[in-house]
Chain A
Amino acid sequence: MADRRYTKSHEWVTVDGKTATVGITDFAQSQLGDVVFLELPSAGRKLAERESFGVVESVKAASDLYSPVAGRITAVNEKLAGKPELINSDPYGDGWILKLELTGDLPADLLDQAGYQKVTEASAH
């Protein structure tokens, strides 16, 4: 699997050629609690870097989802409609959210594992 990168808003992205796969991190899902619903866009839509594209909801929280990269949505994880809990059980695997066809370079400020760890340590109370 390609090297995972992260955003400060707790999304992850992996890139394979021109295809990016996006999801939310393990830290994010543990903060949210059991995911009950996702509001997601349709395939075909173009997203700008850091554009808000949807919402992930638990019983006690609702978080906006921001795209780590600019691209055109080629696939939305259909399984999440019936099984939103995949985000909790397998946030980096079966709980992937979107696939995008990249329309630009990867942003320079995406975090690596160590960088993201610093973010989560700062967030944790």
Chain B
Amino acid sequence: MSEPLSFELSRPGAQPPRLPEADLASPGPADILPAGMLRSNPPGLPRLSEPEIMRHYSRMASLNYSISEQFYPLGSCTMKYNPVANEAAASLPGFAALHPYQDEDTVQGALELMWRLERALCAIVGVDRVTLQPAAGAHGEWTALRMIQAYQRSRGEVRTEVLVPDSAHGTNPASAALSGFHVVEVKSGADGRLHLADLESKLSPRTAALMLTNPNTLGLFEREILDIAQLVHSAGAMLYYDGANLNAFMGICRPGDMGFDAVHMNLHKTFTTPHGGGGPGAGPVGVKAELVPFLPAPTVERTNGHLTLDFKRPRSIGRVRSFYGNFGMLVRAYTYIVAMGGDGLTQASKDAVLSANYLRKQIEGELEMPHEGPCMHEFVASARNLSHQGVRALDIAKALLDRDFYAPTIYFPLVVPEAIMVEPTETESKATLDAFAKAIKEIVAEARSNPQALHDEPKNLPVGRLDDVAAARHINSYLQGLSEDPVLRWKASV
């Protein structure tokens, strides 16, 4: 099935929507503004009637996979069920209709929700305060590094390096570089965990922080985390926690207790806010006492039951976005936390770990497992054992799409060749896990008997593999003025 673009369906005579009239005598823009300020040609937006618009979007929706219909074993993404109650909560007019510049007295419920969410997140990860401002994980990362930088500068320290494991997500070094840090890579050992000797050799008075995920991106708990924290702190540096993998141990242990000074979280991973096809999310950051003065302003304060926004924070790193946070996502996450409670969140993490180990066991005969188990909430397999058949992780991924599964994360982390990172989460039934394992077995069997078939997959989806190389080359032709087709937008003449 395919669906034309709205621009291709557009017709000049389509009825515009009926909208309110001014209903009063008053001059219009053409009467008052100089002609030179006015738009000469209308913008090329499509012209469609409402029935056509709804049909258009419904048909486009059916071209998508989504967690509502398919299993998404995406490592490091925590694609768990998005509770529909959260949606009901966020759309309550008492939240959705609030103007951010309403007087504090008129938004006590909203501020209370933010305050309670902050307290709950503090309890879950073991920190003193949390900023809810960052709009996404990468945004939160950068916010945390800026706070660490501001703290160190306030003590007269100039620390210019940030250490990042070679298994880290790309946003880690990117966020560090944006704060003006030089990024130094720390190696993983053969067991997949951080190589302590290498860490020690790279720590210096120039080190501002070590950024770590725990469990790491291989799904392995850093057993020596307390030693790591000690080493980092002895060097006068701070320890930053990337919360991508927090789903592994809620209620079991806490990053704050491990020695992390700044703890980042993804509400759109661990806390069920929906991915939306690429956002919006939210990336709150928890901090220990030393970093509290540097939190983005305003913070939410509660005195005698009354909530206020505190703007008087002289050492704050400032604002990292407009207003107070992705409030609509905060409502969703808070609703989830209330529903689950401490006991529910703990069981969720346990089930996540159980499911990952179960699934790993089911497919360990089919793909290479570079590291010994047990794993935590995710594991990394490698398709390297199929390389001699000419089959790669990409082919496995596409073959899964053809079997009505979304693919796991592939080619990440970079330290494992032909990596396939699998994170089932706690909201998938055993039956689904078994079906996935069965699909993997079938695909691997096909890889052995008929590898060429895999290269042609997916066959059952609206499109097959798309030639992104040709697209990139066309874009570069356009950017260099060698062609008229922008590729990155629809254009009438093209």
- Indicate if A touches B (C-beta under 8 A): yes
- Give the interface of A toward B (CB within 8 A): 33-34, 36-37, 57-60, 81-82, 84-85, 125
Residue among B411, B417, B476 making CB contact with A84, cutoff 8 Å:
B476
Residues of B within 8 A of A85 (CB): 473
Extra contacts besides A36-B473, A57-B472, A82-B477 (9): CB < 8 Å: A33-B469, A34-B469, A36-B472, A37-B472, A58-B469, A59-B469, A84-B473, A84-B476, A125-B384
Within 8 Å CB of B482, what residues of A?
81-82
Interface residues of B in 442-494 (CB under 8 A from A): 468-469, 472-473, 476-477, 480, 482
- Most B Cβ at <10 Å: residue of A33, A57, A81: A81
B480 with A82: CB separation less than 8 A: yes
Tier of interface size on chain B: 10 to 19
When distances are taken between beta carbons in the complex, the residues of chain A under 8 Å from B411 are: 60
> Which A-chain residue is minimally distant from B469 (CB atoms)?
A34
For A36, the chain B residues whose CB sits under 8 A away are: 469, 472-473, 476
Chain B residue nearest in CB terms to A37: B476
Cα distance A62–B482 when bound, in Å? 23
Complex Cα distance, B473 from A36, in Å, reads: 5
User: Which residues of the other chain, A, contact B472 by a CB distance below 8 angstroms?
Assistant: 36-37, 57, 59
Chain A residue with minimal CB distance to B474? A36
Q: Which residues of B contact A60 (CB under 8 A)?
A: 411
Main SS class of interface, B:
helix
CB distance from A36 to the nearest CB of B (A): 4
Min distance, Cβ A59 to any Cβ of chain B, angstroms: 5
B417 partner, pick from A59, A81, A125, beta carbons under 8 A: A125
Q: Give complex CA distance A37, B469 in Å.
A: 10
A37 to B468 CA separation, bound complex (whole angstroms) = 13
Q: Is A81's CB under 8 angstroms from B480's CB?
A: yes
CA of A72 to CA of B133, assembled, Å? 49
B121-158 interface bits toward A, Cβ cutoff 8 Å, 1 = contact, 0 = none: 00000000000000000000000000000000000000
- Output the nearest chain B residue to A33 by Cβ-Cβ distance: B469
| Listed A/B pairs (11) with beta-carbon separation below 8 Å | A36-B469, A36-B472, A36-B473, A36-B476, A37-B472, A37-B476, A59-B468, A59-B472, A82-B482, A84-B476, A85-B473
Q: How far is the CB of B479 from chain A (nearest CB, A)?
A: 9
Q: What residues of chain B lie closer than 8 Å to A59, measured between beta carbons?
A: 468-469, 472
**In whole angstroms, how far apart are the Cα atoms of A11 and B482 in the complex?**
28
- Could you say which residues of chain A place their CB within 8 Å of the CB of B468? 59
What is the CA–CA distance of A60 and B394 in the complex, to the nearest angstrom?
12
- The CA-CA distance from A77 to B487 in the complex, in Å, is 25
- Chain B residue numbers with a CB within 8 Å of A58 are 469
B480 contacts across to A, CB distance below 8 A: 81-82
**Measured between alpha carbons, how far is A82 from B476 in the docked complex, in Å?**
8
Q: 7 closest A-B pairs (Cβ-Cβ)?
A: A36-B472, A125-B417, A34-B469, A37-B476, A59-B468, A36-B473, A59-B472
Chain A residue nearest to B479 in the complex (CB):
A37
Chain A residues whose CB sits within 8 angstroms of the CB of B417 once the complex forms: 125
A54 vs chain B, min Cβ distance (A):
14
Q: Which residues of B contact A125 (CB under 8 A)?
A: 384, 417
Closest A residue, CB atoms, query B476: A37
Q: How far is the CB of B125 from chain A (nearest CB, A)?
A: 34
Cβ of A84 to closest chain B Cβ, rounded Å? 7
For the complex, give the distance between the alpha carbons of A34 and B474 in Å. 13
Q: A82–B473 Cα gap in the complex (Å)?
A: 8
Chain B nearest CB, measured from A9 CB (Å): 16
How many angstroms from the CA of A37 to the CA of B472 in the assembled complex?
Answer: 8
Task: Output the nearest chain A residue to B394 by Cβ-Cβ distance.
Answer: A60
Closest Cβ of chain A to B478, distance in Å, is 12
Q: Which residues of A contact B476 (CB under 8 A)?
A: 36-37, 84
CA A82 to CA B483, docked complex, whole Å? 10
CA of A10 to CA of B476 in the docked complex: distance in angstroms? Answer: 24
CA distance A51 to B247 in the complex (A): 43
Q: Which of B384, B472, B480 has the most CB of A within 10 A?
A: B472
Residue in B468, B473, B480 whose Cβ sees the most chain A Cβ within 10 Å: B473
The smallest C-beta distance from B78 to any residue of chain A, in angstroms, reads 24
The distance in angstroms between the C-alpha atoms of A36 and B487, with both chains bound, is 14
Chain B residue at smallest Cβ distance from A83: B473
